[in-house]
Amino acid sequence: MSIERIIQQVQRQAQVLASEWQDEQHKSLDRQLQHPVIVSAIHCPMTNHANLSSTHKSLLNWQHRDHLYLDRDDDVFLEQLYLQLLGRPIDETGAKDYGDQLVQGTPRAFIALTLLRSPETKADARLAEMLLLQPFWLLDKVLKKIPKTNKLRKLLYKPVTSWELSRKDFWQSTRYLQDQLDEKQDQLDEKQKQINKQQSDIATICQHQQAHHGATLAQLATVVSQIATAQAMTHETGQNFHLLQHKLNYHQHALERLLEELANPQTASATTPAIQNHLGDRLDAYYVAFEDFNRGTRDEIRHKLSPYLNLIQERIQTYPELAQKPLLDIGCGRGEWLQILGEQQVIATGVDMNPVMVDTCQHAGLSVTCNDALTWLRAQADNSHLAITGFHIIEHLPFDVLFDLFAETYRVLAPNGMMIFETPNPENVLVGSHTFYHDFTHRNPITPTAISFLAKYHNFAQIDILRLHPYPSEARVAGHDALTERVNGHLTGPQDFAILAIKPAVEQQGGK
């Protein structure tokens, strides 16, 4: 057998033996590393390593030793090896001898095995290095018997050198990747610094914007306040203008009547009494101004009256024969209800005792007569009207007049005709005790019970009470218990109510 064949067989056996020993020792080492103390130290970096034995510390550091051996230049490797095993810096002799061996191809593992046998080697380091280098012990014993100049020694070095090179490539790759990661981390840190600066700049800009926005809002609030003040002044000026206009209308109307009477020879001699009579008309101008001030604008009044339009239209749809009969509005005032009816082609007329009101309606093209309601009704034919309405009228009347008004209304209404009278609702305590008396011409509040009985007494049917216009929700007392609901009902409930009644097609015997 040739020497080359022998060398190849020895080389293969050495590789197999080294691999088997390495696997077995790694398994043994893994078992030792499963010791609870070592596991705790590895997975809990904050563990106090001062409580570990020197052996445990060596085992804990073992997994990083091949990194020490294979990821360094030769000079650095030898310096670190001396520090790890002997606890001192390398001397010149050791640096030269071991440096030469490394240059000649001696694997680093055998350099470490050589130092392990030194009496200077620390006990804990010896244990760790023995665990790491145990697979190479047998091969090292074989190599000791082969002269250093023999080619066989170099051939047997090859598997160890190959292993070391592979590990070195691994660690170099790892270091390269780590360097790449560090570089990326540096880039990320730089980006984060830029982002932080941008965020800081944005925060500064936002603060400036908020300060500017706050100043702008303050200016806007000032402008809004000024606008509100101007609107209030405009509203007050408008009210004063309407008041003056009503006074002017009153004086113009009174002057026209006075001139007409003076032009009449029959009344010319009674100049002084005529003047005295017209002086009483000044209250009419006051009441027009009062209506404008308290009842709201025309649009507001139209909105409040619009629900009644549905009632009238339903009555006409149910009883078509009523469509040709007129509706009478008593105390028609400024004529808002008559305008709503006219827009829906409902025949409507009005009667009012205030000549200024009547003049306003007539100038608007409405059919309105200046007269007392009872006098006007008594002049109408029986069963002649679709409906008779009156909004905030009946609370001005003495009871005897109110009684006769219901009687005449019943007579004048056509069968299936409707009576509607709206009045302040005294069920609301604030209305009954306070707001009702804003109008000096109000006599006394009328309750739903009393007015319902009056209608029943005059033979009206289908009598109903429609409660309207509660206070806004923000005026309510907070809470939903029974007591709070009752308080809210009495204080913030409907401010008005309307009595709805029908003249039956077949007259019934009532209380009259």
Q: What is the CATH number of the domain that holds 334?
A: 3.40.50.150
pLDDT at 40: 45
Would residue 216 count as lying in a domain? no
Compute the distance between CA of residue 438 and CA of residue 84 in angstroms, rounded to an integer: 107
Task: Judge if pTM exceeds 0.85.
Answer: no
Per-residue burial over 461-491, b if 16 or more Cβ lie within 10 Å, else e, is bebebbeeebbeeeebeeeeeeeeeeebeee
pLDDT at 331: 94
Q: Of 340, 347, 342, nearest to 306 (Cα)?
A: 340
Would residue 364 count as lying in a domain? yes
Would residue 179 count as lying in a domain? no
Would residue 489 count as lying in a domain? yes
- Of 128, 145, 162, which residue sits at a domain end? 145
For each of the chain's 512 residues, which pLDDT tens digit applies? 565 666 566 556 656 655 665 565 455 545 544 544 434 433 444 344 444 444 444 444 444 455 555 556 788 888 887 887 788 898 998 889 888 888 887 777 777 777 777 777 766 555 555 545 555 555 555 555 566 655 666 666 666 666 566 656 655 666 667 778 888 888 888 889 889 888 888 888 888 888 888 888 888 888 888 887 777 777 666 656 655 665 566 555 655 666 566 666 665 555 455 445 555 556 666 666 666 666 667 778 888 888 899 999 999 999 999 999 999 999 998 899 999 999 999 999 999 998 888 988 999 999 999 999 999 999 999 999 999 999 999 999 999 999 999 999 999 999 999 999 999 999 999 898 888 888 888 999 999 999 999 999 999 999 999 999 898 888 788 888 888 888 888 888 899 999 999 999 976 555 55
Domain span holding position 121: 3-145
pLDDT at 47: 41
pLDDT at 63: 43
- Of 78, 113, 145, which residue sits at a domain end? 145
Q: What one-character-per-residue DSSP string does 51-66 give?
A: GS-HHHHHHHHHTTHH
3-state SS, residue 455: helix
Would residue 69 count as lying in a domain? yes
Domain count, the chain: 2
Half-sphere exposure (Cβ direction) of 425: Cα atoms closer than 13 Å: 20
Residues 288, 242: contact at Cβ < 8 Å?
no
Would residue 70 count as lying in a domain? yes
Would residue 265 count as lying in a domain? no
- Of 145, 163, 186, which residue sits at a domain end? 145
Burial degree of 280 (CB within 10 A; 0-12, 13-18, 19+): exposed
Structure tokens at 387: 């409906």
